[in-house]
Amino acid sequence: MKDQKEPAPKGLRIALVGNPNIGKTSLFNKLCGLNQKTGNYPGVTIDKKRGHFNSNGHDVEVIDLPGINSLYPNSKDEELVVDYLLKPDSEDFPDAIVVVVSALNLKRNLYVFDQLDDLEIPLILAVNMNDLAAKRGIRIDEKNLSKSLGVPVIKVSARTGDGIDELKKSVFNLQLSNNRDLRFIEDDNRDLLHQFSKIIHSKNEYKSFLLLTQDFQILNTAQQHQQREDFITANSIPVRKWKVNESILRYKFIGEILKKAVVVEKENAIDFTTRVDKILLHKFWGYIIFLLILFSIFQSVFWLASYPMDWIDSGFSYLSGAFTDWMPDGYFSRLITEGVIPGIGGVVIFVPQIAILFLLFAILEESGYMPRIVFLMDRLMQRFGMSGKSIVPLISGFACAVPAIMSARTIENKKERLITILVTPLLTCSARIPVYVVVIALVVPDEMMGIFNMRGIALMALYLLGAVMAMVAAWVFNRFIKNEYKSYLILEMPEYLMPGVKNILISVWTSVKAFCGMPEKLLWQLPSFYLCWLQMA
C-alpha cells in the first residue's frame, strides 16, 4: 500500500544520493544551473553543494551529497552522508531523496536505493545514461520498475537535459512505502533486532540494524556505545554475517525486479567505450597517451592564453592612461592609475591561463577519462604508498592544493590518504603560475622548437619537477608510515561522454571566481589601501 503525501509546500528540500561516477553532479548542475553555492558541513572540511530551482511557483532547495556505494561507509565522504541520512530530526534533513542510478549498472546502483527505502524516506528514482544504455542494447521499462519499487521512476539525461522537467514536477508527488517486507534480515533474527530497537528507542528497524552492525558516530554517548557492545556480546550476534546476509537478500530481490523491468539485447549493442579502453588503458600506450594529454594541456596554457592576455594587458594600459588624462594629478589619482588599476590588471591578466587549465581538467572529468587515469595509475602509485585514487587529488593539486587535499577524503586507506595529503602541496598549483610565467618570460626565449613552444616546454618541466619531488617524498613517507591493512581498488568505469558545455562552464566559472576573489572584497579594502599608500608616500 502507498500513502500519497500532500503537495509539497514552499521551501521543499531534496537531496541527491547515488553511487560515484554516475552523473549525479551533472544532474545537479542541470537542475540548478548557476543558482548554487558551495560550503562546508558543520565541523568538517567536506564540501557540500546547495542549489535552487523553481517549479510550479515553489522554490526547491537541492543538496548534492557525496557519492556512496552503500550505507556502510568506507570513507569520510560516506560517513558524512550516512550520518546525515540517519538524523531525520536535523534542521536540513530533506523532504525527499532523489536516488540517481545509471542505466548501465542498475543492479549495483539499486542496492543503495533499497537501503534508503528501508529508512522510510520519500524517494524518487532518477535513471541516468539511458542514451548510452540503448547503445548497449539495454532497454528499461520504467513503468514496470516503478510498480515493483513503489516509487516514481524518471528517465533523465544529465548530459542532454532530457527528463529534467519531469523530474522537477515529480518532487511534488512524494510517496512513502508502508508495510513493506524486511529484506535485510532473516526471520530468525527479527526478534533480536526488535529488542535492540527498544533499547535505543528507535522507531525504524533498519536504522536499528545499521546502528547494531556498524558503530556509527551517531551513537555519540558512552552509554549508547556500551549498550550496543553489551547487546552484541550477550546475544552472540555475528555482526559480519548479518551484513553479508543483508547483501545477499537485497541482491536477490533486485535481481527478481530487473528480470521483469530490464531487457538486454546484445545483438543491438554498439559499444564504443570498450573499443576505446583497449587503447587508453593499454599497459604501455595508456601511459604514453596520458603524458601526451598532460603535455598538450601545458602547451595550451601558453598558446591559447597568449591572445586574451595581450588584450587584457592593452586594455588595462589604456584604462590607466585614460584615468591619468581625466583625473587631476595628486596622491589619489596616482593611487588609482599606478596602484589600483595595474594591481587589478596584474591579477586579471592571468585569468585566461587559469581558466584554460580548469577548462581542460573539467573536460577530462566530464568525458569519463579521469576514472581511467585512476585505474591506469593504481599499480604505479602503490609503489609510493598511495593508490590510483590518489591521482585525482594530485591532479587537482595542479589547480589548488587546498581543495585537492580536501578531495583526498575519498581514499579509504588511512596511510594512502595521509601520504597523498602530505605530498600534494609539493605540486605546482595555479597560484604559482603567474610567478612561473614571469620567470619563464624573462629567461626562456619565445621561440619554437619544431612544433612546440619553448616556454610551454619550460612550464611543463617545472610541473614535472614538482611531480618528481612529490613522488620522492611519497617514497620516503612510505618507508616510515605503517599500513593498517592492504587496500584494493574497486572502481566503476563510466561511459565516455561528450562533455556537457554547460557543466564545464559552471565548473570553470566557479574555479576562476575562487581564484580571483569577489570584487566587492577589493572595493571594501580600497580605503585601507589608500591610507597605507599615503603613509608610504
- Say which residue, 438 or 451, is predicted with more confidence: 438
pLDDT of residue 34: 63
Residues 442 and 486 in one domain: yes
pLDDT of residue 318: 83
514 has a pLDDT exceeding 70 = no
pLDDT of residue 526: 45
Q: Are 371 and 491 in contact (CB under 8 A)?
A: yes
Residues 72 and 151 in one domain: yes
Q: How confident is the model at residue 534 (pLDDT cuts 50, 70, 90)?
A: very low
Closest C-alpha among 10, 113, 105, 27 to residue 63 = 27
Residue 36 within any structural domain of the chain = yes
Bridge partner residues of 51 (DSSP): 36, 62
Residues 373 and 233 in one domain: no
482 has a pLDDT exceeding 90 = no
Residue 119 within any structural domain of the chain = yes
Tell me the three state secondary structure of residue 18: strand
Q: How confident is the model at residue 530 (pLDDT cuts 50, 70, 90)?
A: very low
Cell readout for 271 is: 559499444
Task: Please measure the distance between the N-terminal and C-terminal CA atoms of the chain and give it in whole angstroms.
Answer: 80
Q: Are 202 and 227 in contact (CB under 8 A)?
A: no
Residue 359 within any structural domain of the chain = yes
Closest C-alpha among 462, 458, 388, 385 to residue 423 = 385
What is the C-alpha separation between 293 and 287, in angstroms, rounded?
10
What is the C-alpha separation between 415 and 297, in angstroms, rounded?
31
> In sequence order, what are the residues at sequence separation of 6 or more whose Cβ sits closer than 8 angstroms to the Cβ of residue 471?
384, 423
| CATH code of 106's domain | 3.40.50.300
Mean pLDDT, residues 326-355 taken together: 76
Bridge partner residues of 262 (DSSP): 140
Last residue in a domain, options 197, 230, 263: 263
439 has a pLDDT exceeding 70 = yes
Bridge partner residues of 2 (DSSP): 177
Domain with 216 in it: 187-263
Render 434-465 in DSSP notation, one character per residue: HHHHHHHHHHS-S-EETTEEHHHHHHHHHHHH
pLDDT of residue 385: 86
6-64 pLDDT, tens digit each: 444 456 889 999 988 788 888 888 888 765 554 444 434 355 678 888 877 788 889 88
Residue 342 within any structural domain of the chain = no
Q: Are 123 and 39 in contact (CB under 8 A)?
A: no
Residues 158 and 193 in one domain: no
Mean pLDDT, residues 324-329 taken together: 78
pLDDT of residue 480: 86
Identify the burial level of 312 via C-beta atoms within 10 angstroms of its C-beta, where 0-12 means exposed, 13-18 middle and 19 or more buried: middle
Q: How confident is the model at residue 116 (pLDDT cuts 50, 70, 90)?
A: very high
100 has a pLDDT exceeding 90 = yes
Residues 135 and 257 in one domain: no
Residues 108 and 250 in one domain: no
Give the range among 137-141, 412-416, 456-460, 492-496 with minimum mean pLDDT.
Answer: 492-496
pLDDT of residue 115: 92
Residues 173 and 194 in one domain: no
Residue 524 within any structural domain of the chain = no
Last residue in a domain, options 159, 177, 195: 177
What is the C-alpha separation between 109 and 18, in angstroms, rounded?
7
124 has a pLDDT exceeding 80 = yes
pTM: 0.58
What is the C-alpha separation between 349 and 345, in angstroms, rounded?
6
225 has a pLDDT exceeding 90 = no
Residue 367 within any structural domain of the chain = yes
- Say which residue, 435 or 114, is predicted with more confidence: 114
Residue 244 within any structural domain of the chain = yes
396-424 pLDDT, tens digit each: 777 667 667 766 777 778 888 889 889 98
Residues 391 and 476 in one domain: yes
What is the C-alpha separation between 148 and 257, in angstroms, rounded?
7
Q: Are 133 and 140 in contact (CB under 8 A)?
A: yes
Last residue in a domain, options 177, 198, 227: 177
Closest C-alpha among 132, 135, 115, 92 to residue 17 = 115
Residues 444 and 300 in one domain: yes
Q: Which of 163-177, 212-226, 240-254, 474-488 has the highest mean pLDDT?
A: 240-254
Residues 79 and 191 in one domain: no
324 has a pLDDT exceeding 80 = no
The amino acid occupying position 394 is L
What is the C-alpha separation between 161 and 321, in angstroms, rounded?
47
102-115 pLDDT, tens digit each: 888 888 899 999 99
Strand 2-4 with 47-55, pairing? unpaired
522 has a pLDDT exceeding 60 = no
pLDDT of residue 519: 44
What is the C-alpha separation between 457 and 296, in angstroms, rounded?
10
529 has a pLDDT exceeding 60 = no
Mean pLDDT, residues 212-218 taken together: 73
Residues 171 and 33 in one domain: yes
Q: How confident is the model at residue 498 (pLDDT cuts 50, 70, 90)?
A: confident
Residues 297 and 437 in one domain: yes
Residue 327 within any structural domain of the chain = no
Residue that the C-alpha cell 614538482 belongs to? 466
What is the C-alpha separation between 496 and 502, in angstroms, rounded?
17
Number of domains in the chain: 3
